[in-house]
């Protein structure tokens, strides 16, 4: 059995990705289910607006003399008929401020706060068990949502659902970042965030067609029961088959890993304060605001698209089309965005991911406009084009975030990021209802849906120029050649010698790390030979054919900070700290030149004084 498990070990990473993605997908099924079942739920629980609505799908639009939505009174609505058959009804339409509160603020209020709290929990405790508990909570909330009898009960369970879902993204993001390497991270995060589009897309056929079947007389409630049971199964698999991985430094932080290895305990508080300050970087703030605007557009369409198409095209069944576009094309866009950003990140660095964000949202804007402006056929075509580009963004945003935030703050940063993003993006769509009553439902979507796409693309573009240039690890320079500290240009038959000035260079651009150690056993090497057991300055020995490279460059991104403290426990073996060496470099140069010249002169055959001349 064990050899078989060893052979299947390569499947573990994809398995973990599958489990956490399914967990997120079930959370999103519960999150967006209310938008698709709102009409049936509103009729049962009696909330939201009441209007005249089309209720006879056997009639074509051409057969209807007066459109139902144009009637504003119940008595007039009941009188609309064709050949004595009424085709309109005065009932709850699932819209109104009650629905907008249920879909947005009631969910976001808890989701954002718990996202920060659970992000901190994920940085300190076992993420697998924490994520399993969150999945259990949200699954129970979904099941209980199917059993509600009052509107307020549904609101309370939406709060509980939000608390459970809040931990999915920060915990899973940190978990997957430690399991997968950087060159796969964009794709992995995109696949994980596919759970949003998977859950949202599945909601359309589930919420539209299952209630009509009225299984066991439960109507829309069956949708919630089924989704919650699947969530319980995923909870069991996650808790007992997934292991907590080792936490790793990634992205920009890995290039500075030497600065964090071996630090003294006394520096921990100072380091933690620096980690918290990383959340206030201008690039993080602008990235968060851009993501918030983009999230506004996405949630605005998610909460309103099904109701919008039912209102404007009640005679056309778009349930399966919406499923294909959101689940199919949206999922493809998510994966393509991750692959593209991973391919370019090696060449352009982290800027490539932000560039993909800006370009993709700009390309999605015309399609978003067409999906609201056009008739059903062209609306679905343009929506598909828009979704392909638009849905590249979510996974890439979090791939960027975990690469510019220190390890100790990674899950916390995701939680804070989601807090801001969801407070802005989750609450602004509530303005759709009052704006739509002023200028129209379609026109309000132009502002909050199409306009948000365009504005976010501009903000992502600005963020790109705030990102650091790609880090490139320099190759060590050739150290096998003569040091240029001095040269003997000519040693003629007459013993003429010309000594050039020292070329020992201390490069101004190079920065030295306070934690680096200069070993006492290092050997200064040169062509001249200094043989024997004598020692020069401490433990350093000038030996045999070794070479001392004066032009050697100290390379890398490590920084020698002037305010660094050399703790009592730090050991600099054989050589004094670097700041004491800097003033003595010229003295060291002169000493080395003198030693080398003397050693070489000792080997030159003696020439009578009367025949010895200096070459001018």
CB 460 within 8 A of CB 358: yes
- pLDDT value at residue 201: 85
User: Nearest-CA neighbor of 118 among 165, 158, 156, 159?
Assistant: 165
Distance of alpha carbon 331 from alpha carbon 29, whole angstroms: 15
User: Nearest-CA neighbor of 27 among 106, 140, 129, 149?
Assistant: 140
- CA distance to 161, 165, 333, 349, 432, per residue, from 28 (Å): 10, 8, 18, 32, 22
- pLDDT value at residue 369: 96
Which CATH superfamily includes the segment(s) 15-49+93-253+278-464?
MFS general substrate transporter like domains (1.20.1250.20)
Rounded percentage of the chain residues whose pLDDT exceeds 90: 22
- Mean pLDDT for 533-558 is 42
- pLDDT value at residue 248: 64
User: Nearest-CA neighbor of 545 among 574, 518, 523?
Assistant: 523
Split at pLDDT 50, 70, 90, the class of 109 is: confident
Distance of alpha carbon 502 from alpha carbon 381, whole angstroms: 73
- Token duo for residue 8: 């299947």
- pLDDT value at residue 574: 44
Q: Is the pLDDT of residue 585 over 70?
A: no
- pLDDT value at residue 561: 43
Per-residue model confidence as pLDDT tens digits over 278-310: 677 888 889 999 999 999 998 899 888 888 998
- pLDDT value at residue 454: 94
| Strand, helix or coil for residue 264 | coil
- What is the sign, positive or negative, of the torsion defined by CA atoms of 122, 128, 133, 136? positive
- Token duo for residue 174: 């940190």
Q: Is the pLDDT of residue 233 over 90?
A: yes
Average pLDDT, the chain: 75
Distance of alpha carbon 462 from alpha carbon 467, whole angstroms: 10
CB 204 within 8 A of CB 34: no
Range of lowest pLDDT (37-51, 213-227, 249-263) = 249-263
Q: Is the pLDDT of residue 467 over 60?
A: yes
User: Nearest-CA neighbor of 42 among 116, 102, 89, 110?
Assistant: 102
Distance of CA 180 to the CA centre of its chain: 14
Residue 46: DSSP 8-state: T
Question: What are the two backbone dihedrals, phi and then psi, of residue 382, each rounded to the nearest 5 degrees?
Answer: -70, -30
Q: Is the pLDDT higher at 390 or at 277? A: 390
Per-residue model confidence as pLDDT tens digits over 450-463: 999 999 999 999 88
Q: Is the pLDDT higher at 246 or at 443? A: 443
Pairing type for strands 81-82 and 85-86 reads antiparallel
* Kind and range of the H or E run holding 113: helix 105-124
Overall residue count recorded for the chain in this entry: 616
Q: Is the pLDDT of residue 61 over 70?
A: no
Q: Is the pLDDT of residue 231 over 90?
A: yes
- pLDDT value at residue 273: 54
Print burial letters for 454-469: b (CB count within 10 Å at least 16), e (below 16). bbbbebbbebbeebee
Q: How far apart are the first and last CA of the chain?
A: 85
Distance of alpha carbon 361 from alpha carbon 219, whole angstroms: 38
| Strand, helix or coil for residue 398 | helix
- pLDDT value at residue 23: 92
Top-ranked range on mean pLDDT: pick from 72-76, 130-134, 356-360: 130-134
Going through 170-259 in order, the beta strands assigned E by DSSP cover none
Rounded percentage of the chain residues whose pLDDT exceeds 70: 67
Per-residue model confidence as pLDDT tens digits over 12-31: 888 999 999 999 999 999 99
Given the structure tokens 């706060």, which residue do they identify? 113
Q: Is the pTM of this model over 0.85?
A: no
Given the structure tokens 């399914």, which residue do they identify? 22
Residue 504: DSSP 8-state: -
| Strand, helix or coil for residue 320 | helix
Domain ranges of the chain: 15-49+93-253+278-464, 475-616
576 sits in the region (left: phi over 0; alpha: psi -120 to 50; else beta) called beta
Q: Give the other-Cβ count within 10 Å of 445's Cβ.
A: 26
418 sits in the region (left: phi over 0; alpha: psi -120 to 50; else beta) called alpha
Q: Is the pLDDT of residue 370 over 80?
A: yes
- pLDDT value at residue 515: 44
Per-residue model confidence as pLDDT tens digits over 250-264: 555 455 444 444 444
Q: Is the pLDDT of residue 523 over 60?
A: no
Locate all alpha helices (DSSP H) within 9-57, ordered by sequence: 12-45
- Token duo for residue 447: 């502002």
- Mean pLDDT for 528-547 is 42
């Amino acid at each position: 059995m064990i050899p078989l498990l060893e052979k299947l070990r390569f499947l573990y990473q994809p398995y973990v990705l599958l489990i956490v993605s399914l967990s997120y997908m079930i959370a999103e099924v519960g999150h967006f289910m209310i938008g698709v079942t709102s009409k049936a739920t509103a009729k049962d629980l009696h909330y939201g607006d009441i209007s005249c609505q089309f209720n006879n799908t056997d009639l074509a639009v051409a057969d209807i003399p007066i459109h139902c939505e144009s009637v504003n009174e119940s008595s007039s609505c009941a009188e609309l008929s064709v050949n004595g058959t009424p085709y309109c009804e005065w009932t709850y339409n699932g819209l109104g401020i009650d629905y907008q509160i249920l879909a947005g603020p009631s969910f976001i209020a808890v989701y954002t706060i718990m996202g920060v709290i659970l992000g901190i929990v994920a940085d300190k405790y076992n993420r697998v068990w924490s994520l399993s508990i969150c999945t259990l909570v949200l699954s129970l909330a979904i099941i209980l949502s199917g059993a509600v009898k009052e509107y307020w009960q549904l609101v309370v369970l939406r709060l509980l659902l939000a608390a459970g879902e809040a931990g999915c993204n920060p915990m899973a993001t940190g978990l997957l970042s430690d399991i997968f390497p950087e060159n796969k991270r964009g794709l992995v995060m995109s696949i994980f965030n596919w759970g949003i589009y998977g859950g949202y897309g599945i909601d359309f056929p589930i919420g539209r067609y299952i209630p009509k079947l009225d299984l066991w007389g439960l109507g829309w409630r069956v949708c919630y029961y089924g989704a919650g049971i699947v969530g319980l199964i995923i909870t069991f698999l996650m808790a007992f088959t997934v292991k907590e991985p080792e936490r790793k430094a990634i992205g920009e932080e890995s290039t500075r890993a030497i600065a964090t290895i071996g630090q003294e305990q006394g520096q921990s508080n100072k380091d933690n304060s620096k980690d918290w300050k990383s959340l206030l970087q201008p690039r993080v703030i602008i990235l968060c605001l851009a993501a918030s605007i983009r999230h506004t557009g996405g949630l605005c369409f998610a909460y309103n698209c099904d109701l919008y198409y039912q209102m404007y095209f009640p005679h056309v069944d778009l349930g399966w089309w919406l499923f294909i576009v959101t689940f199919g094309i949206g999922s493809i866009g998510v994966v393509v965005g991750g692959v593209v950003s991973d391919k370019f990140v090696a060449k352009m660095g982290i800027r490539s991911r932000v560039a993909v964000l800006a370009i993709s949202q700009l390309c999605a804007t015309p399609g978003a406009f067409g999906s609201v402006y056009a008739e059903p056929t062209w609306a679905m075509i343009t929506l598909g084009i828009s979704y392909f580009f638009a849905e590249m963004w979510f996974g890439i945003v979090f791939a960027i975030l975990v690469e510019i935030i220190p390890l100790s703050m990674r899950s916390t940063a995701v939680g804070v990021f989601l807090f801001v993003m969801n407070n802005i993006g989750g609450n602004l769509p509530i303005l759709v209802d009052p704006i739509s009553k002023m200028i129209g439902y379609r026109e309000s979507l132009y502002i909050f849906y199409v306009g948000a796409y365009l504005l976010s693309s501009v903000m992502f573009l600005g963020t790109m120029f705030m990102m650091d240039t790609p880090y490139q690890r320099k190759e060590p320079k050739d150290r096998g050649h003569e040091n240029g500290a001095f040269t003997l240009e000519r040693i003629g038959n007459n013993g003429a010698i010309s000594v050039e000035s020292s070329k020992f260079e201390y490069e101004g651009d190079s920065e030295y790390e306070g934690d680096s150690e200069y070993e006492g056993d290092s050997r200064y090497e040169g062509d001249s030979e200094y043989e024997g057991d004598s020692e020069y300055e401490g433990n350093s020995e000038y030996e045999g054919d070794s070479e001392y490279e004066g032009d050697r460059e100290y390379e890398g991104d490590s920084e020698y900070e002037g305010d660094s403290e050399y703790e009592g426990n730090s050991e600099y073996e054989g050589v004094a700290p670097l700041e004491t060496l800097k003033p003595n470099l010229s003295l060291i140069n002169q000493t080395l030149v003198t030693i080398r010249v003397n050693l070489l002169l000792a080997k030159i055959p003696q020439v009578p004084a009367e025949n010895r001349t200096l070459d001018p």
